[in-house]
Amino acid sequence: MRTKSMRRAVAAPAALVAVVAAGGCTVQPADGTGASRGPVRIDVPATPDDGDGDGKGASGPKPPRTPTPTRTPTRTPTPTPTRTPIPAPPPAPSAPPRVLWSHGDEGRDVRELQSRLRQIAWLFEGPTGEYDAPTAEAVRGFQGKRGLPRTGVTDSVTWARLRGMTREPTKWELYAFGGQPAAAPDARCMTGRVMCISKTSRTLRWMVDGRTVMTVAVRFGSELTPTREGVFEVSFKSRHHVSTLYDTPMPYAMFFSGGQAVHYSSDFAARGYYGASHGCVNVRDEERIAELFAQVRAGDKVVVYW
């Protein structure tokens, strides 16, 4: 016969098994010896979720999900950096103009420079072929008038400006005051003591036995009063002669053909070939004709030729 206490003892384990089965807990029943067994785990499968977050299983097909619109991120434009312009390098200084002629130079090119300066009234002497103080002063004045540096030295820029304002000088503008080379002596001048006078080169050679002792520039008569050509002799000499026909001085006169003589001319010294004689042979270098006058004797030959 069971008692009330026995019934309680049997009911208690049965209730425990039911709770374990329902909750998936681990029970550790005692074995027949009263020792404890290892834990037994009973896994109770959970009801699958339908994904709607209510913990209930799916009861049918899932409704289509509305896609969440994708936002395109707005890109803030990156500001373009301002570039500071690099300044251009300063232009390289130009080379100074090339110097062509300066004080102390000599030659034909200097004659042309002087002749061109005479054409525009910057020079009133020469051409002499020597770059002297008057030439430098004339160049300086020309440069200053045209806004060029007043150096008195003829450089490439000054020369270009001067050439643009003038014309090519003639031979006798280049040698307006002498200095031209002498022509070859005439064959009739090769013997004895001879004043060998060339109308082509406008020069007089004083020659002794074919050797030239000195050469001077000379000037002749104009077309109206030409100097006669041919072979003559010195008839007489007159150191301080004065022309009775023209009433002009004829110092160091050596007469050879009537009233025509070789003599010094101050007009030739001053005006060069821009003037002419009345038929005589003029010499402009007073020192040289004084030397010539001392050497020439009456009876010496005179040859005038082209």
Six token digits for residue 42:
């009973």
Q: What is the pLDDT of residue 90?
A: 79
How much is the CA Rg of the chain, to the nearest whole Å?
66
- The reply to whether 111 and 170 lie within a common domain is yes
How far apart CA 139 and CA 82 sit, in angstroms, is 56
Residue 303 phi, psi (nearest 5): -120, 120
Residue 115 domain flag: yes
- Identify the pLDDT of residue 91: 75
Among 189, 196, 241, 280, which one carries the catalytic annotation?
280
Active-site residue flag, 263 = yes
Residue 156 and residue 248 in one domain: no
213 and 157 part of one domain: no
Residues 105, 166: one domain? yes
30, part of any domain: no
Q: Same structural domain for residues 207 and 277?
A: yes
**Does residue 286 share a domain with residue 199?**
yes
The full length of the chain comes to 306
Output the domain CATH number for residue 131. 1.10.101.10
State pTM to two decimals.
0.66
Burial label, 132 (beta-carbon count in 10 A; 0-12, 13-18, 19+): middle
Same domain, 158 and 202: no
Predicted local distance difference test score (pLDDT) of residue 61? 59
Average pLDDT per consecutive 10 residues, the chain (306 residues; last block may be shorter): 44 41 42 49 49 48 64 69 78 87 97 97 94 98 98 98 97 94 97 98 98 98 97 98 95 98 97 95 98 98 98
pLDDT at 86: 83
Residue 12 CB partners (closer than 8 Å, separation 6+): none
Does residue 150 fall inside a structural domain? Answer: yes
3-class secondary structure, 33: coil
Give the 3-state DSSP-derived string for 40-57, with helices as H, strands as E and coil as C.
ECCCCCCCCCCCCCCCCC
162 and 195 together in one domain: no
- 280 annotated active-site: yes
Q: Are residues 201 and 151 in the same domain?
A: no
Identify the domain boundary among 117, 152, 174: 174
CATH code of 204's domain: 2.40.440.10
Q: Which residue has the tokens 């026995």?
A: 6
Give domain status of residue 46, yes or no: no
The pLDDT assigned to 17 comes to: 38
The domain boundary, picked from 133, 148, 174, lies at 174
For residue 8, being part of any structural domain is answered with: no
Q: Tell whether 249 and 299 lie within a shared domain.
A: yes
**Cα–Cα distance for residue pair 39/45, rounded to 1 Å:** 19
**Which residue among the candidates 189, 196, 241, 263 is catalytic per the annotation?**
263
What pLDDT does residue 32 have? 45
Instruction: For residues 272 and 192, state if they share a domain.
Output: yes
Residue 288 lies in a domain: yes
The structural domain count of the chain equals 2
Same domain, 126 and 155: yes
Residue 61 lies in a domain: no
> Does residue 64 belong to any structural domain of this protein?
no
Domain containing 233 equals 187-305
Report pLDDT for 16. Answer: 40
Q: Which of 132, 147, 174 is the last residue of a domain?
A: 174
The torsion angle over the Cα atoms of residues 288, 290, 291 and 297, rounded to 10 degrees, is: 130
